[in-house]
Amino acid sequence: MHIVINIFQMKRIAIIFFAILLTCASQAQTRKRSSSVPKQRTIEEMPRVAIDTVTTADPETKVIIYSNNSWEFYHPAIKERLADLDVYKYNWDTTQIFAYKNIELTDLPELIELRLIDSLVQYCAPATGRVSSKYGIRRRRNHNGTDLSLPLGVPFHATFDGKVRYAKWNSGGYGYLTIIRHPNGLESWYAHQSKLNVKPGDYVKAGQIIGFCGNSGRSRGNHLHFELRYKDQSFDSEFLIDFETGQLRYQTFVLDKKYFNIRSRASEILEEDDYDADLPESLLADADETTIENVQSAPKPKPAQATTGAIYHTIVKGDNLGKIAIKYGVPIDQICSLNGINRSTTLALKRKLLIKK
C-alpha cells in the first residue's frame, strides 16, 4: 500500500518532467529534420551520462536526469514489479501470434482508454520513414499494419516498454516476427525482419533495438510491417504515431471499437475537420474500395466554426476529455489549458469547452 501511494505521488512530478522532455524532443526532432543529417541517432546511441538526481516524495525513489534529455525513476523495487504485471501472465502465448482466442471482438467495450506513456512507461518511434502502404484494404486484401519503406538492416526499436511475447519465424507470411506486449495491454508487431534481436520473456525498454529490417516472409522488398493490436484486434497504428516525424500523437488514447474495422483508417479521421461528418456505417458496410475512394474525394463541406476561427465543443452524455481530444485531433493538455481545467475535472453536461482558438 505504501508503495502504491508513492507511485501516484511520483506521477505528478513525472507528468511535468515528461511535458518538458517532450517539448525538447520535438524541437530537437524539427531541428534534425531541417538540417541534412544523414542518420538520426537514437536515444540509446547518444551518450548517456547522469547529470542530476532529483528527490521525490518517496525517500527511496529518485529521478535521474541524463545528458541526452532522457530520465528515469530509480527505485530498486520498481523494475521487478514492472516486468511482473498480470498483463504478462494471462493469455501469454509465446508459440502463436494470437493469444486471446477466448476473447471475441464483441466482448470488448465500446471505448478503451489506453495510457500510452507515463512516469514508468516511455515511448520511442519503432522507426521513422515514408509510409509505403497504409492500414486498410489493399488489392482487396486486408492489410492489418503500416509499411515503412526502409533499407536492409535498419534497426527497429521497441515502441513502448514491455515484454516480448513472440519472437521467431512465422510461416503465415510475417517472416521473422517480434510481438511485444505493453503494460496497457497493447501489442506491437514488427514483421519481415532480417534478424531478430530479442527473445520471448525479455523485458524491453522503449527505444531498445529489437530487430533489423528485412524482406523475410511474404514481402516484396525491404520494409517494416508494423501493427498495433489490442486483444488480437488490429487498428491503424497511424492513429498513434506520425511515422514521418516519429512523434507520438497522444499520451492517453481512447481506442474506439469502430477503429478495429479494417476500413477505419487514421488518415481519414485525424485529418477530418468535422469528425461528425464521418461516412454513415451503412455506406461503409456495403461499399467496395472504389465507392469509398469516390466518396472521400468529394469536396468536404466547411465546418461552420471555421468562419469564426475558434472551435467549441458542448459536453454531451458520455463525453470525456480523451474522446473529445480524438474527435478534434488536439492534445488533452491543450483542452485543459484553454479552459483552465485539469484531467480530473468533472465535465458538466452542456458545458462549452474551447477546443481551438
**Residues at the contact surface with Zn ion, assessed by CB under 5 A:** 145, 147, 225
Least distance to Zn ion, CB of residue 147, Å: 4
Nearer to Zn ion, 147 or 238 (CB): 147
Least distance to Zn ion, CB of residue 15, Å: 35
Nearer to Zn ion, 12 or 218 (CB): 218
Pairing between β-strand 352-356 and β-strand 311-314 as defined by DSSP bridges: antiparallel
Please report which residue ranges of 208-288 form alpha helices under DSSP H: 266-270, 281-286
Nearer to Zn ion, 192 or 205 (CB): 192
Least distance to Zn ion, CB of residue 291, Å: 24
Nearest residue to Zn ion by CB is 225
Please report which residue ranges of the chain form alpha helices under DSSP H: 2-34, 78-82, 266-270, 281-286, 289-297, 321-328, 332-339
Query: What own/partner pairs with CB < 8 Å and gap ≥ 24 does 325-334 have?
Result: 325/250, 325/254, 326/250, 326/253, 326/254, 326/256, 326/275, 327/275, 328/275, 328/355, 328/356, 329/270, 329/271, 329/272, 330/355, 330/356, 331/250, 331/251, 332/250, 332/251, 332/252, 333/19, 333/251
Nearer to Zn ion, 73 or 176 (CB): 176
Nearer to Zn ion, 145 or 183 (CB): 145
Least distance to Zn ion, CB of residue 130, Å: 13
321-328 helix and 332-339 helix, angle to the nearest 10 degrees: 110
Closest-CA residue to 168 (of 94, 234, 87): 94
Nearer to Zn ion, 134 or 205 (CB): 134
Least distance to Zn ion, CB of residue 300, Å: 29
Least distance to Zn ion, CB of residue 121, Å: 26
Taking the CA atoms of 294, 298, 301 and 307 in sequence, report the sign of the dihedral they define.
positive
